[in-house]
Amino acid sequence: MGHQHRAPPHSVLMHIAIIESITPVTPTIRIFQLTCADASFYRLAGQWINVSREMDGETVTASFSVASSPASPNQIELAIRYSNQHALTRWLHESARPGDRLRISNGQGNFIWHPDMPEPLLLIGAGTGIAPLMSIFRLAAAKRKPATMLYSITSQQEYLYRKELAALGNGDTIRHITTLTRPDPAWQGKTGRINRELLREAGAGPSTRCYLCGPREMVDDLAAALPELGVPENNIIFEKWW
Tens of pLDDT along 46-103? 999 999 999 989 999 999 999 999 999 899 999 999 998 899 999 999 999 999 999 9
223-to-112, 117, 218 alpha-carbon distances in Å: 17, 20, 8
Hey, how many other C-beta atoms are within 10 angstroms of the C-beta on 164?
Answer: 14
Confidence of residue 12 (pLDDT cuts 50, 70, 90): low
> Mind listing the pLDDT tens digit for each residue in 167-217?
998 788 999 999 999 989 999 999 999 999 999 999 999 999 999 999 999
Hey, how many other C-beta atoms are within 10 angstroms of the C-beta on 135?
Answer: 29
Do 31 and 79 meet the contact criterion of CB atoms below 8 Å apart? yes
**Mean pLDDT for the chain?**
92
Cα 151 to Cα 57: distance, rounded to the nearest angstrom: 40
What is the CATH number assigned to the segment(s) 121-240?
A: 3.40.50.80
Cα 41 to Cα 10: distance, rounded to the nearest angstrom: 16
| Residue 7 confidence (pLDDT) | 42
Domain ranges across the chain: 2-105, 121-240
| Residue 241 confidence (pLDDT) | 63
Topology of domain 2-105 in CATH is Elongation Factor Tu (Ef-tu); domain 3 (2.40.30)
